[in-house]
Amino acid sequence: MHPPPKYLISKYGDPIFAIIIGLASTAIKINRIEKEQGHSTQETINAARRRFKRLWNSFISK
C-alpha cells in the first residue's frame, strides 16, 4: 500500500489554493450580508475599493 500524498497540489500550490478559497468564501459571505441589508453588489464592490484604497494609502504614507 502506498503512503498518502503529502500535498494535494504541490508544496507551494496548496497554500495558494487555500488563500484563494478563503478570499472567495469571504467575498461571498460579505456580499450575502450586504444584500440582506439592501445593498447591491456594485455598492459592496465600491465600498470594498474605497476601504482598500484607504488601507493601501495608510501603508504607503508611513
In this predicted model, what pLDDT tens digit does every residue of 4-58 receive, in sequence order?
888 888 889 999 999 999 999 999 999 999 999 999 999 999 999 999 999 999 9
- Rounded to an integer, what distance in angstroms lies between the CA atom of residue 19 and that of residue 52? 18
- Rounded to an integer, what distance in angstroms lies between the CA atom of residue 22 and that of residue 27? 9
State the cell numbers at 44: 459592496
Domain coordinates in residue numbering, the chain: 12-61
